[in-house]
Every structure is written in structure tokens, then in C-alpha cells.
Amino acid sequence: MLPFLGLHVSYLARSNSLMAQQSSPLQSYITPPGLRSFIDVAPDSDFPIQNLPYGAFTPAAASTACIGVAIGDFVLDLSVLAEAGLLGDEARAQSYFSDPVLNRFMECGRSVWTSTRQRITELLRSDCTTLRDNAELRTRAFHRRDAVAISIPIRVGGYTDFYSSVDHARNVGALFRGPENALNPNWRHIPIAYDGRAGSIVVSGTDLHRPLGQTRPSDDAPPVFGASKSLDFELEVAFVVGTPTKLGESIPCSQVDEHVFGVVLLNDWSARDIQKWEYQPLGPFLGKNFGTSISPWVVTLDALSPFSVDAHPQDPQPLEYLRSARRVFDIQLEVAIRTAKMAPHEAHVTTHSNTKFLYWDHQQQLAHHTVNGCPVGAGDLYATGTISGPTPDSLGCLLEITKGGKQPVVLPTGEERRFLADGDSVRMRGWCQGAGFRVGFGEVSGAILPARTC
């Protein structure tokens, strides 16, 4: 057994808001930046020992998925380690790492997440012999990531999509209602959101058909039925709830990180023409729920917390229950489009953005979501909304980039895009840059297939 690494109390412990009912420090394990694994990891890999994101995969010789962590070019099979008794009694007895999704593990709560993360880190460090020098165990526990099938890591119970980027809300509001009415009067007081469709959340690599629906070609014409003509992406990240609450309970800002397991990238595919005709008065519906893609590796809050930064001040100051630690993550984000005419390795980067631009933070979002007693469950997702920055190269969807379809993007092939064409694929990446390593998300990608025939 290695020396005890110590529980590191990060910003998570300092996030007491004015609403705090209790201020017990939250447990977390922050990996020392200099720590190295016996697994070789390139400096530009998304998956060093400081990350260890959780995902679901099926080894080539197996028929059912189980849980692993990504490290370098490999997946470490946690079901094998748990069966060998290396992850503690609870992991062996409950065998939650043999499940095809993370839900039962996430329900165990933060103290189990912390001790598990710490134990996996110990087993992977360069000076730990337990796994490093056991060739038989190593063969069973490590798989090359490109040789396994990756599946959706969570059974999504509920999905909420916020609208938390002020640049995005202002840009889209100006397109829909004019610059004077861009931000609705409630926007700086409430983290605005709608409830999305959990059942149509898919994992990266799932291609989607262009949706059919009802649109209105012009303001003085009757509506028509057909395939969407203005299909778009939205660059977002989503927080994954782990520890559940019961109906009637609420989570103050200071306790949100007790409930949040991790973060994934999310592409909220959007049919703008369907959305524009249907969205008033109750918000998005069929323009959004034909498919929402997430990245397959859940990056834990512990892995991200060294990359938290102060959020921009809010004006006006929000109501008391929304006073959070005001920390946002410095996650660098990128969107690229690849058309059918481009070579497989080619893609055109349309966007560089960052979660640090968000106006409402993840503590405020979940505190608001639950303030009326709405319960949350393990596997619930709540997404940020499109993450746009203040500059023209940081816009998180085509609607903004092309100014409502008026100014096309010109691609290196000479092709133009106002919105996505059949055969196009969209790839989103995200990472936090450390000193000599990065904590990354991998990617969320998907292609657009032609509409099914009406």
C-alpha cells in the first residue's frame, strides 16, 4: 500500500454562499500536477493521470459494457480491479463497475467518488507496483481505447438546458427581436432554462437524420411540413448529477458540488426554422429533441477544480438564494465542421470559446433548478446553453456565426454554409491546459444524414 496521499480540500470547500445551511468541507481529491503514471501519456493527450474520466465501454471479446477510466491511449477496466479487490470492499460487493452505466456508482456520493479516485490514482502512479508489475492483471485490465466499443456512460433521467451565456442570449435575442429587446427583462435575474428530452440524448459518434417538422417559410405565408432547412449545432457543456435529492428538497449554492459528479461536452443540435415557429410561448420542443449528443468521458469535478477561475461580476446582484462562489471553469472549447467533400482528417474550425465566459455558473443553475423542491436524480444532466464569447471567432452556433443565415461561412473547399448540409459532421473538443499536461474531454462528434422520407 502506498503512503496516504491526503485529501485535498479545494475551492469546493470554500464555496459557501450566503445561503449556506451548513459549511462542512466537501471531500475532493486533487491530483498533484507533477504526478506521473507508469502508462506513457503524451503531453497533449486529454487523459493524463490528473484527469481519469469515467466512461462505459465493451471490450472486443465481451458482449456487455462495463465502466472504465481513460488513461493515455488506454481504458482501465474498473470491473476487473473491483473483482480483484483493489478498489475496496464496497466496490467488490456492489459491483457497480460491472454495470453498463455509471448511475449506481454516482448514487454512492462524493465520499465514495473521492476515495475511488484516490485509489485509482495510487494504482496508476509510476512508483506503484501492484498493477505495474502484475502482467496477468495488466493484460486483463487495460484495453487500447481504439479497440473497444464506447457507449453512453449514463442513463439520463432528466435533461435541462440553460441559457447562461450573455453573449449568446444577446446575439440570438437581437436576431429574433431586434437589438433593443435582445435580453428579456428576466434574463439577468433568473438562470433561464427549458426541460429537454432525456430519451434522445446520444453518445458521440451517433449520426442523426435531419428532422422533419412544421415551419413557416415567411411571416405572411401558411406553415408547411418538411425537412428542416436550417439545421444548427450548439456548443455546450453539461453537468452530470450524482447524488440525488427527494421531492421537496432544494440544494443551496454552497452544496451544489456535493451533488455534481462531473462534466461532459454537449452538442444541442437545433433546427432553427422549426424552433422559430414553435418556440412561443412555451419554448423549444421538436426543434431540439430529435437528438442531443454528449462526449463519452465524464470528467470529474475534482479533475476540473484546479482550473476554476473567478466569474465575471453580475449586475444586478442576484437574489440571495443565487449568491454562489462565482467560480467558472477555464475549459477551452473548439468546434469544427467537416463536409463530405473534405478528406477524413480535414475539418474547418469555426469557433474557439471557453466556459469562463458564462454569466450564470453551475452552482446558481442547480440551486435555481431545485429551489422550488424539484428533485434531481443520478444521471440527470443540466447543460449550460450555447457558450459564446465576446469576439466573432468565439460564437457557439451557426445562427450567430452567419447572422441568422445571412453571411455564409466559406470553407477551405470553397463550399459555403449558412446551416448544416446532409453529410456534414460537427466535432467539438474541450480541454483545460495545465503545466505540461491537459485535462481534456476527448470529443463529441456526429454527422447529419438525409431526412427520412415524409
Q: Smallest gap, in angstroms, from Cβ of residue 288 to Mn ion?
A: 7
| Three-state SS at 253 | helix
Q: Residue from 46, 99, 234, 302 that binds Mn ion (CB under 5 A)?
A: 234
User: Between residues 268 and 361, which has the closer beta carbon with respect to Mn ion?
Assistant: 268
Alpha carbon distance 310, 255 (integer Å): 18
C-beta of residue 298 within 8 angstroms of C-beta of residue 265: no
**Distance between CA atoms of residues 24 and 383, nearest Å:** 27
CA distance 414 to 412: 5
Query: How far apart are the C-alpha atoms of 308 and 305, rounded to whole Å?
Result: 5
Choose between 63 and 280: whose C-beta lies nearer to Mn ion: 280
- For residues 255 and 269, give the distance between their C-alpha atoms in angstroms, rounded to a whole number: 31
Q: Pick the closer one to Mn ion by CB: 234 or 443.
A: 234
Q: Which segment (122-130, 216-224, 229-237, 410-418) binds Mn ion by CB under 5 A?
A: 229-237
Query: H or E stretch including 168?
Result: helix 166-177
Comparing every residue's Cβ against Mn ion, the nearest one is 268
List binders of Mn ion among 161-200 (CB under 5 A).
161
> Shortest Cβ distance from residue 238 to Mn ion (Å)?
10
# of chain residues touching Mn ion (CB under 5 A): 3
Q: Which run of H or E residues covers position 76?
A: strand 74-77
State whether the Cα torsion 80-86-91-97 is positive or negative.
negative
8 is annotated as an active-site residue? no
Catalytic residue (one of 8, 143, 168, 368): 168
Stretch that binds Mn ion, among 103-111, 233-241, 364-372, 390-398 (CB under 5 A): 233-241
Nearest distance, CB of residue 113 and Mn ion, angstroms = 27
Which of 85, 79, 116, 86 is CA-nearest to residue 101?
79
- Least CB distance from residue 334 to Mn ion, whole Å? 18
C-alpha 179/C-alpha 175 separation (Å) is 8
Identity of the residue, 289 or 402, whose beta carbon is nearer to Mn ion in the bound complex:
289
Return d(Cα 382, Cα 119) in angstroms, integer.
28
Binding part of the chain for Mn ion, among 105-113, 144-152, 265-273, 320-328 by CB under 5 A, reads 265-273
Interface with Mn ion in residues 145-164 (CB under 5 A): 161
Q: What's the closest the beta carbon of residue 245 comes to Mn ion, in angstroms?
A: 24
Shortest spacing between CB 278 and Mn ion, in angstroms: 15
Closer residue to Mn ion (CB): 245 or 267: 267
Joined together, the cell numbers standing for residue 11 give 475551492
Determine the interface stretch with Mn ion among 64-72, 126-134, 205-213, 262-270 (rule: CB under 5 A).
262-270
CB atoms within 10 A of CB 168: 28
Instruction: Decide whether 228 or 255 has the Cβ nearer to Mn ion.
Output: 228
Give min distance, CB of 231 to Mn ion, in A.
Answer: 14
Q: What distance in Å separates the CA atoms of residue 210 and residue 220, rounded to the nearest whole number?
A: 26
Picking from 38, 446, 436, the residue whose alpha carbon sits closest to that of residue 232 is 446
Q: And the C-alpha cell for 294?
A: 454528449
* Cβ proximity to Mn ion, 72 vs 430, nearer residue: 430
How many H-runs (helices) and E-runs (strands) does the chain carry?
13, 26
> What is the DSSP track for 403-438?
TTTTSPEEPTTS-EESSPPTT-EEEEEEEEE-SS-E
Cβ 379 vs Cβ 104: under 8 Å: no
> What is the spatial distance between Cα 18 and Cα 341, in angstroms, rounded to a whole number?
55
Q: Which range binds Mn ion by CB under 5 A, 47-55, 59-67, 212-220, 266-274?
A: 266-274
Q: Identify the residue whose cell numbers are 469576439.
A: 391
What DSSP element (H or E) covers 231?
A: strand 231-232
Between 161 and 302, whose beta carbon lies closer to Mn ion?
A: 161
Using CB under 5 A, which of 77, 167, 268, 334 touches Mn ion?
A: 268
Please, which residues bridge with residue 67 across strands?
56
Question: In this structure, what C-alpha cell is assigned to residue 86?
Answer: 483493489
Q: Which is nearer to Mn ion, 55 or 211 (CB)?
A: 211
Q: Looking at the annotation, which residues are catalytic?
A: 168
Q: Tell me which residues touch Mn ion (CB under 5 A).
A: 161, 234, 268
